[in-house]
Amino acid sequence: MSKIKVMDEILANKIAAGEVVEKTMNVVKELVENSIDAQSDEIKIELMDSGVKEIKVTDNGIGMDREDTSLAFSRHATSKLKNLDDLFNIESLGFRGEALPSIASVSNIELKTSNGEIGTYLTLSGGKDMHVEDSDLQPGTTITVKDLFYNTPVRLKYLKNLYTELANITEYVNKMALSYPNIKFTLINNDKVLLATDGNGDLKKVIYQIYGADITKKMIEISGENDDYYIHGYISYPEMTKSNRNAITTLVNGRVIKNNELNKIITDSYHTYIPKDKFPIIVLNIDVDPILIDINIHPTKMDIKFSKMDTLKELVSEEITKKLKELTLIPTISTRTEEALREATIPLYRAFKKEEIQEPKYEETVLDFSVEEPTSKEEQEESPGETSEQEVVSTPRIKKMIPRGIVYSTYIIAENEDGMYIIDQHAAAERINYEKVLKSIKEKVIPIDLLIPIKIELTTNEFLIIRNHLDILKEYGFFAEEFGMNTIIIRSHPNWIPNDIAEECIRKAVDIIITKENFDLDQFVWRMAATMACRMSVKANDYLSYDDQVWLLDTLRNCENPFTCPHGRPTIITYTKYDLEKLFKRSLD
């Protein structure tokens, strides 16, 4: 007797649901994407208990006729792929035809739709017992998913708590609103509105509605293109960061994606501008010929493969780096009233409270979204320093500052006509030394022989790693050779390392190579330069004379990036003259 049997369709749909529907956000995602593919410009998502009890999505799209309504819940039934060639030129968000039957198999479904000529009402329970009847002719589709996982209690058990489920849905809908600013999105949970965009096509206004005024004012528009890709969107000032990558929104042909390699390219572009455990706020649209990407690599269609990743990496890095270099990135310490400090978006837990809550009255913040970003050239002055024959000094990115004193033996207080500045003397010195060391590393290295060679004993695995990279050490001026069992000896170091910290820096360079699981030459050079710069720099509580302060400020303003140390901490912050006058009640505006 045969042991292999064809699986029952309902059982197959439930198994597919395990791939497609892991949480309530997946249901919202599939339904919203269907609404977008149906050419809707208004989409309303209504939830009960974060979608566990009910998810209702209403759109004003093209709708379906009676036959399509019934077929939509058959597995692999889709209007978006006709043949194999279409798989290599996908322009719709959905295409597999698995989502609706998978969702229907683990919930109760009500569907009301009309194409303007005929209206249809359909119900399904657990993917079976389909009932179809006539309905009104209101254009668009309304689909309601009730009692998710009611017939698969094990999967229901592994859903996160309601707050987490709602947070996941909110994050996804926010990203879709950023992806389609021309669509009006409304998200409601337990009768509380969490998001409402107006669909007027203004991306910056959508950013304002999601992130608020403070962040929106610190977003910069970027755009660029090459032969394969066109990118456009907004990036944040380095001072506006998050503790995770969730604020990096990447879109490919309107599809929200999560691609680790692309996220790394973006964060690497902020290298030394932000700390390594912080992430920028990004909304980046990538337009590309569909033939150059593969979106059919994950059941949720959230990941993607690029056939020309190198050209995309070059374009993204170049555009972000170029924009950051154009801006004056000194954080401003602005004054805020007590009432303004209380202003915040409604926390997620408010969305679960059904009783009416009286919100405090706030002063409305009005943003002018038509104002162009100021160019740094208007904010800069010509450098008074002399220019050597070999080097052309670029225009400083900060106006000349006059030191007025030091507080806590660490922070230099300075001024110019724009306001007052507070400079961290160690961070400033680190930035100066970092750029100096980095330049020296990239130039021809002159090795200096050690009077007493340094012997370093290693474990077997460490020794094998170092032996494989002896040529790297030699290239950067560290002449090392094997010296017995699991031991190396260093006979020289590059000339840019001061003798008094030579041994410490050599051991650090060896540690950097050992601790990196996958050796990256660029990361090695950066970490080595950052480490040496830190060791060489003046520390907090070190005494600086007035002349030392003048030199430090003048040298800092001529750095390529004078705003952060190599680890991403700010070197300088400012109070504008207006902020000071407001603090002392000289300005009452």
Per-residue pLDDT of the chain (589 residues; tens, 9 = 90+): 444 544 455 544 444 444 457 788 888 988 998 898 888 999 999 999 988 899 999 999 988 888 878 787 776 445 443 444 444 444 445 444 467 888 888 889 999 998 888 889 998 887 777 888 888 878 899 999 998 887 777 666 667 788 888 888 998 899 889 988 999 999 999 999 999 998 998 999 999 988 888 889 889 999 999 988 999 999 998 888 888 888 898 888 877 888 888 888 898 888 888 887 788 999 999 888 888 777 654 555 566 777 788 898 999 999 998 888 887 777 776 554 444 434 443 444 445 544 443 444 434 434 444 434 444 444 444 433 333 333 434 678 888 999 999 999 899 999 998 889 999 999 999 999 888 888 877 776 678 888 888 888 888 878 888 888 888 788 777 888 888 888 888 888 887 777 777 777 778 778 877 776 556 667 777 777 887 788 788 888 888 899 999 999 999 988 988 998 888 889 999 888 888 888 887 766 5
User: Can you spell out the DSSP letters for 229-257?
Assistant: EEEEEEEE-TTSEESSGGGEEEEETTEEE
Q: What pLDDT, on a 0 to 100 scale, did the predictor assign at position 197?
A: 92
Tell me the β-bridge partners of 135: 119
Retrieve residue 411's tokens: 């922070």
Q: What pLDDT, on a 0 to 100 scale, did the predictor assign at position 81?
A: 39
Q: What CATH number is given for 218-326 in this structure?
A: 3.30.230.10
Distances (CA, A) of 582 to 13, 69, 79, 335, 589: 64, 63, 62, 7, 8
Q: What CATH number is given for 9-196 in this structure?
A: 3.30.565.10
Phi then psi for 368, rounded to 5 degrees? Answer: -95, 105
Q: Which CATH superfamily is domain 388-589 in?
A: MutL, C-terminal domain, dimerisation subdomain (3.30.1540.20)
Tell me the domain boundaries of the chain.
9-196, 218-326, 388-589
Retrieve residue 154's tokens: 């094990």
Q: What pLDDT, on a 0 to 100 scale, did the predictor assign at position 380?
A: 42
Place of tokens 């569909």: 290
Check if the beta carbon of residue 81 is closer than 8 Å to that of residue 87.
Answer: yes
pTM of the predicted structure, to 2 decimals = 0.65
Q: What pLDDT, on a 0 to 100 scale, did the predictor assign at position 135?
A: 83
Distance CA 283, CA 173 (A): 14
Retrieve residue 300's tokens: 């949720």
Retrieve residue 155's tokens: 């999967």
Q: What pLDDT, on a 0 to 100 scale, did the predictor assign at position 519?
A: 61
Strand locations in 91-181 (E) = 108-114, 119-125, 128-135, 140-146
Distances (CA, A) of 164 to 52, 194, 351: 12, 15, 13
Check if the beta carbon of residue 406 is closer than 8 Å to that of residue 413.
Answer: yes
Distance CA 309, CA 99 (A): 29
519: nearest Cα among 561, 566, 471: 471
239: nearest Cα among 330, 341, 336, 374: 330
Distances (CA, A) of 551 to 265, 472, 555, 562: 35, 35, 6, 14
Check if the beta carbon of residue 526 is closer than 8 Å to that of residue 566.
Answer: yes
Buried b (16+ CB within 10 A) or exposed e, 162-177: beebbbbbbbbbbbbb
Q: What pLDDT, on a 0 to 100 scale, did the predictor assign at position 136?
A: 84
